[in-house]
């Protein structure tokens, strides 16, 4: 992002930020499946091994399609309004079937959605690791203290307010010099036009926040529907 590259990125060059293996590819964080075309020019990119890149892609596509089906209230791909999700469901029958079984009608005729929790957790943790590494230059390979996700509408007003605040206005130690988090906090170019704790990758599609409190606390919102948190402890 911008013409001046944070020097702590050098820490990331020799390691897959997800597993610690050899970094054979570059990976968008978030994956393009969560964004509409054309992709934003400054989409965060980190280094990853082939195995992580490929394995996460399957689960990310599943989660993106699941969220879109929930938002549209149907698993009928003809009625899915987001082109990228509709194309994925049309192209991959197994993917469409895996999303379809997540929707069940109750005896009252209400559609209830139950995602595959292991796949959701895999994606949320992947996003947390990717954003933490990109913003702070520190690779988080250990197990996090907590991984949470919930629809924004399912939160109480107090939970939503705390989540949206994302540490803004609270006393924090400054991030390490040379990291993107430091440059954002200092208002240095090209981040001088940003405001608030949220980094908007694509409006209405994807935003995230990374707070060091004193270890990484990553928040993500996908399609203004799913709120996610990954927290690392000491």
What is the tens place of the pLDDT at every residue in 127-147?
Answer: 999 999 998 888 999 999 999
The answer to whether residue 98 sits within a structural domain is yes
Measured between alpha carbons, how far is 185 from 212 in angstroms, rounded to an integer?
12
Q: Residue 161 is part of which domain span?
A: 7-231
The answer to whether residue 28 sits within a structural domain is yes
Please give the average per-residue pLDDT across 51-68, as a whole number.
94
- Among positive and negative, which fits the CA dihedral 46, 151, 59, 19? positive
Q: Which residue has the higher pLDDT, 166 or 4?
A: 166
The answer to whether residue 155 sits within a structural domain is yes
The answer to whether residue 1 sits within a structural domain is no
Question: Which range is least confidently modeled, 34-43, 84-93, 110-119, 182-191?
Answer: 182-191
Please give the average per-residue pLDDT across 33-55, as a whole number.
92
Whether the model pTM is above 0.75:
yes
Phi/psi of residue 183, nearest 5 degrees = -60, -40
The answer to whether residue 22 sits within a structural domain is yes
The answer to whether residue 27 sits within a structural domain is yes
Number of domains comprising the chain: 1
List the structure tokens of 40: 């934003």
The answer to whether residue 227 sits within a structural domain is yes
The answer to whether residue 125 sits within a structural domain is yes
Is the predicted pLDDT of residue 107 greater than 90, yes or no?
no
């Amino acid at each position: 992002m911008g013409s001046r590259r944070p020097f702590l990125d050098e820490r990331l060059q020799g390691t897959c930020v997800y597993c610690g293996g050899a970094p054979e590819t570059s990976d968008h964080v978030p994956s393009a499946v969560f964004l509409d075309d054309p992709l934003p020019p400054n989409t965060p990119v980190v280094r990853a091994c082939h195995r992580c890149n490929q394995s996460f892609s399957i689960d990310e596509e599943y989660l993106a399609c699941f969220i879109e089906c929930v938002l549209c209230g149907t698993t009928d791909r003809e009625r899915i309004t987001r082109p990228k999700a509709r194309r994925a469901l049309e192209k991959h029958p197994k993917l469409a079937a895996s999303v379809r079984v997540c929707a069940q009608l109750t005896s009252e005729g209400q559609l209830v959605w139950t995602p595959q929790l292991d796949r959701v957790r895999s994606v949320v943790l992947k996003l947390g690791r990717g954003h933490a590494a990109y913003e702070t230059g520190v690779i988080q390979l250990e197990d996090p203290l907590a991984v949470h996700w919930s629809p924004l509408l399912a939160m109480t007003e107090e939970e939503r307010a705390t989540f949206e605040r994302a540490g803004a206005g609270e006393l924090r130690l400054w991030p390490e010099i040379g990291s993107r988090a430091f440059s954002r906090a200092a208002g240095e170019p090209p981040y001088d036009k940003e405001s608030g704790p949220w980094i908007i990758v694509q409006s209405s599609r994807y935003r995230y926040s990374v707070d060091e409190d004193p270890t990484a606390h990553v928040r993500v919102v996908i399609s203004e529907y799913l709120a996610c948190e990954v927290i690392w402890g000491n």
